[in-house]
Amino acid sequence: MKRLSLIFLVVFSMLLSACALNSSGDNESKDSGEKASTSAVKDAKGKSYKATDVSALPDKAKARKDTFIAGISAPGGVFLPYFYENGWDGNATTPIFAPLVDLDKDGKPVPILAESWETSKDQLTYTFHIRKNAKFSDGSPVTANDVAFTLKLLHDPAYNGYQDISLAAIKGGKEYKEGKAKTIEGIKAKDPQTIEITTDKVNAKALLILGGQVLSEKYYGKDYKYGKLDYLKDLYSKPLGAGPYVFSKYVPGQEIRYTANDKYYAGKPKTKNLIYKIIDKATSLQQFETGELDYAGFPADDDTVEQLKSLKFANIKVEPVNDYGLIYVNNTRPQFKDKEVRQALLYGLDRQKIVDVRFKGFGQVADIPVSPVSWAYNNQGVTEYKFDPKKAKKLLDKAGWKTGKSGIREKNGVQLKINYLTSDAEDAVIPIAKENYQDIGVKFEPDITDFNALVSKLTKKNYDFAAVSTSQILDPSDTVEELATKNPNNYMGYSNAKIDKLIQEGLGTLDITKRKEVYHELYKEFTQDPPYILIHYRQSARAISGQIEGLVPDNYTGIGSSLPNISIKK
C-alpha cells in the first residue's frame, strides 16, 4: 500500500519526530500572525513557560537516573525506514536509523552521516562525503555501498512503500526498475566514503530524498534478490541502523525500548535508556502528571496549559504546529466542478467560528496551503474568504443553483447536497456547517465513519467533502504536489494548468528566493481557484520534565535531533 501523500488524519499528536520523508520549509514568517484570531497565535515562535519548582517532580520521575521516556501513540511494529505504513513506526525508527542529511529547526539541511556534500553547477549531481567514523550499531562502517544499496532497494520493482524515489529522477533508475539494466547508471561509489549521484532533472527535494536514512547492505542485503523483497519482513522487528540508539524490545500496546549506541559517530548518547511509551489521548496528561512520561505533546488550550503550569515541574512550549487542517472537496462531482460553487462554499462557512470552538484561542483560520511557520508562507495579495453568506448566495445564483421549494438549491433537477466524511464524532465543523449551509440553501449531511473506511472512499473519489489534516510539512511542495492534474494521489480530481506549471517551477530550482516567488504566485492562483476548503492552523503544548536537559523539540524532527543530547539532572 502506498502511503497517502498528504492525508494523515490526526486529532491528537505526540509530535515525536517527522513521520516520513515528505517535505516543506518551516521557518519564521513576519506575516504569519496577520490573520490570527487571537493574540495567543500571533507569534510564530510561540510562548515558553519554565518550570518553577523542579523539586515538585513525582517520585517516579525522580527515580529515573538513566532513562528518558516519551509518549507515542500507536506504532505498528514495522521498524524499517521506507517500509512502514504507520506514521508512528516512522517515529520509532528515528532513534535507530540516521540519515546522510537532516533538517535543522529552521528547515534547512544539515549534515548527519554525511560530513559534507556538493552539488554540481547544473544542480544535477550530488556528491556525499560520509564520515569516516560513521558506523552501524554492529560496528561495521557506513559506506558508499550502503547508500547505493538503500537507493537500489527503493528502485526495486517489488518496493511499494511510501517513498517515491522517482521524484529524485536518478539517472538510469527507471531502467533498473523496469529490468532493462542491472545497475543504476547515476549511482557511483567513488570510494568507501564518497558516493556520487547524478539525476536527470533538478528537484528541490532531491537532497533529502537521496540523503535519507541509510540501510546496512551487510545486514539488509544479504538475502536480496531483484524483484523479491518479502525476506525483509523477517527483519522488521530486528532493526539495525547507525542512529544514536539501538533497538532493544517492543511490547505491543505498551512500549518500545532502546539503549544508547556506543558506536554512534557523534559519541554515545548522554542518557543510557530511551523508552517510547504507548499512550492515548485520555490518559497522556495524567501520565505526565504522575511522572510516567518525561515528554509529551498535547493539543493546546487554556485548561491544558494552565494545568501543565500548575504542576510547577514542567517546562512548557506552546507554539504553532507545522501542518494544517482542511476539507477535501471532490472536484469530480458535477456540483463542485464550477469554481464559483467552491468559492461560495468557502464564503458560506464560518471558519473563524470553527477555529474558535475547536482551539479556543490556540488556532487561526488557514488561508494558504502551507504552515505559517514555513519559509514559504506569504499571504500577501491572496484572495480572502471571510464569512459572507450574501456573497456566497450571489455566487451560487451566478452558477445557476436556484433555491427550490424545499429551500435547497437546485440545478437541472439536482439538489445541492453535501455528504461530509469525518472520523471524529465531535467534529466542530458539523453543527456550524449544517447551520451555515442551510442558510445559503445547501444541505449538509455528516457521515461519521472510521479512519480506514474514510481513506478507502477518498482513494476511490467516492465522497463529496472529507475532513483531513496534513502530515508534518517538510517542504512547501509537499502540500501542493497532490493538486497536479496527473498526480495519482490527486484524490480531489482537481485540474489547473497554471497550478501544474507552478508546482514544477517550485521543484525545478534549488534557489530558495526563486522558490518563494513561485509559491507566492501559486498561493494567489490557489485562492482564486480553490480546490478545497482550508480550515485551520493550530498550536500544540509540549511539556518536558524539569529534570530533562538538552531536549529541544522542533517542527521538523520533533525530538529526533535532540536524542543524543538528552541528559537527566543529578
CATH of the domain at 102: 3.90.76.10
List the domain range (segments joined by +) for residue 295.
Answer: 47-75+244-320+541-568
Please identify, among 216, 235, 254, the residue that sits at the C-terminal boundary of a domain.
Answer: 235
Which among 381, 261, 319, 333 has a CA at the least distance from the CA of 46? 319
128 and 222 belong to one structural domain? yes
Q: Is residue 147 part of a domain?
A: yes
Mean pLDDT, the chain, whole residue set = 90
Q: Is residue 123 part of a domain?
A: yes
CB 172, CB 185: distance < 8 Å: yes
263 and 165 belong to one structural domain? no
Q: Is residue 445 part of a domain?
A: no
193 and 230 belong to one structural domain? yes
Which among 165, 141, 270 has a CA at the least distance from the CA of 218? 141
What is the Cα–Cα distance from 257 to 139, expressed in whole angstroms? 20
DSSP string, 184-204: -TTEEEEETTEEEEEBSS--T
Please identify, among 209, 235, 261, the residue that sits at the C-terminal boundary of a domain.
Answer: 235
Number of domains in the chain: 2
- pLDDT(470) > 60: yes
315-351 pLDDT, tens digit per residue, is: 999 999 999 999 999 999 999 999 999 999 999 999 9
357-367 pLDDT, tens digit per residue, is: 999 899 999 99
- pLDDT(374) > 50: yes
Segment 243-259 shows an average pLDDT of 97
226 and 113 belong to one structural domain? yes
178 and 271 belong to one structural domain? no
Q: Is residue 29 part of a domain?
A: no
CB 382, CB 523: distance < 8 Å: yes
- pLDDT(36) > 90: no
* pLDDT score of 46: 79
Q: Is residue 530 part of a domain?
A: no
- Which pTM value belongs to this model? 0.83
What is the Cα–Cα distance from 95 to 244, expressed in whole angstroms? 6
CA atoms within 13 A on the CB side of 381: 9
Task: Give the residue with greater pLDDT, 302 vs 393.
Answer: 393
208 and 251 belong to one structural domain? no
260 and 136 belong to one structural domain? no
Q: Is residue 419 part of a domain?
A: no
The CA R_g of the chain, rounded to the nearest whole Å, is: 24
CATH of the domain at 312: 3.40.190.10
Contacts of 422 (CB under 8 A, 6+ apart): 429, 430, 446, 447, 448, 449, 454, 466, 467
